[in-house]
């Protein structure tokens, strides 16, 4: 709605112009009054959240004033530009394209006005899904100081959609030089590009280093580095990158706990894994950490000790994950009979609930997913989707 209000500024300008003509002829006063009534009608529709009706009114106004040649050249340009934008907002991209193309080709308009027309044409093509045409128009605007940031921003989004990560990196780095903070998206572009270059180990690691340069806290780059060294059987180095996540972005530590445990097992240093879990639990309240630590306690000190540990966690930070594991310990320590059968049924029911539920959620818009994805398709933010086990939802 705010964008629509900006689009209607030229209409407000026309309104002021007509109101200024009230001392002219009576017929002009009638036109002005009619324009005033139409303008207020459209504005009332807009403010009452009836955007479709508001757009219809404003379109009718603009088309009528243009057909009657009652506006100046500058006002006519603004009116036509707005008219095209309104058509695009309604999904009538073909009509928007015709209007904006006429503006670009009109010899009566200035160079700056034609740049504005090009910008809107690029948005028209982008809205229609013609990314190559939109790209060409935005590229033509990159060297124009007033249009550079907007053009580079849209180019970055186009390259992201087309998965052309090298181009996305180039445009993002140009935006950085212009003072636009986009370190996190740029870091992910390097990660995406690195995953396409896994066959070239030197290039792969270099790209991940660049990712960490722009976003030192990037859990994705740390995970990729850890997995790289894990495949190289360099367990100590893999542990270093995996464990660094607890310091940089502890919300994601649950994603690599099994890999850390595996590395310590290969090094015959499983006690060090327990020490890490104790330290991690002090940094981040995470159900996966609690469960992993309880399993270590069960192996060393027995199920009753592990059950007591999880009981305290469930009481202090109740969530389905730790509760499910707590029931498992109770079920295994219970005597045969109706009580054990009841616990088994409860364990199964909670387990089914967890399996059917989403495992990840965007903290920005609430979008939920069954798997970890780094880019939210709903709010279009990078690194906003977190594991629910780190959010610790109450039962």
- Residue list, annotated binding site for Fe cation: 362, 365, 376, 379
Helix, strand or coil for residue 251? helix
- CA gap 224, 245 in Å, rounded: 11
Closest to 93 (Cα-Cα) out of 135, 134, 33: 134
Q: In what order do the strands lie in the sheet with 385-387?
A: 368-369, 360-362, 385-387
| Helix (H), strand (E) at residue 360 | strand 360-362
Distance of alpha carbon 251 from alpha carbon 331, whole angstroms: 30
Are 126 and 154 a contacting pair, CB within 8 Å? yes
Residues marked as binding? Answer: 362, 365, 376, 379
Rounded CA separation 144/112 (Å) = 10
Burial class (CB in 10 A: 0-12, 13-18, 19+), 319: buried
Cα separations in angstroms, 87 against 45, 67, 176, 311? 17, 17, 33, 61
Determine the Cα–Cα distance for residues 167 and 184; give it in Å rounded to an integer.
Answer: 16
Chain-centre distance for alpha carbon 233: 35
- Report the alpha-carbon distance of residue 18 to residue 31 in Å, rounded: 8
């Amino acid at each position: 709605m705010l964008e629509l209000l900006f689009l209607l500024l030229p209409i407000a300008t026309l309104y002021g112009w007509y109101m200024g003509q009230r001392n002219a002829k009576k017929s002009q006063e009638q036109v002005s009054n009619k324009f005033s009534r139409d303008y207020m009608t459209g504005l009332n529709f807009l403010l009452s959240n009836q955007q479709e009706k508001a757009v219809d009114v404003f379109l009718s106004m603009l088309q009528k004033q243009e057909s009657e040649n009652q506006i100046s050249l500058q006002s006519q340009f603004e009116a036509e530009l707005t008219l095209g934008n309104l058509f695009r907002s309604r999904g009538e991209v073909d009509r928007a394209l015709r209007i904006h193309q006429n503006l670009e080709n009109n010899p009566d308009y200035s160079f700056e006005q034609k740049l504005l027309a090009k910008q809107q044409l690029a948005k028209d093509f982008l809205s229609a899904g013609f990314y190559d045409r939109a790209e060409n128009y935005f590229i033509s605007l990159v060297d124009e100081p007033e249009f550079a940031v907007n053009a580079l921003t849209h180019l970055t989004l186009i390259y992201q959609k087309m998965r052309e990560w090298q181009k996305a990196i180039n445009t993002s780095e140009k935006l950085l030089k212009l003072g636009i903070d986009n370190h996190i998206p740029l870091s992910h572009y390097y990660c995406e590009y690195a995953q396409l270059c896994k066959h070239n180990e030197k290039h792969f690691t270099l790209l991940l280093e660049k990712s960490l340069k722009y976003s030192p806290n990037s859990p994705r780059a740390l995970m990729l580095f850890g997995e790289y060294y894990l495949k190289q059987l360099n367990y100590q180095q893999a542990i270093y990158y995996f464990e660094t996540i607890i310091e940089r972005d502890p919300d994601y530590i649950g994603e690599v706990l099994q890999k850390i445990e595996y590395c310590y097992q290969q090094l015959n240093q499983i006690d060090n894994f327990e020490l890490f879990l104790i330290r991690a639990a002090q940094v981040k309240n995470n159900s996966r950490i609690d469960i992993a630590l309880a399993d270590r306690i069960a192996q060393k000190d027995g199920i009753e000790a592990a059950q007591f540990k999880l009981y305290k966690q469930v009481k202090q930070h109740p969530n389905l994950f730790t509760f499910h594991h707590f029931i498992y310990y109770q079920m295994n320590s219970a005597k045969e009979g109706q009580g054990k059968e009841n616990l088994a049924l409860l364990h199964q029911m909670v387990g089914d609930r967890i399996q059917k539920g989403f495992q990840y959620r965007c903290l920005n818009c609430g979008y939920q997913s069954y798997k970890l994805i780094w880019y939210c398709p709903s709010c279009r933010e990078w690194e906003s989707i977190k594991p629910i086990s780190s959010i610790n939802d109450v039962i």
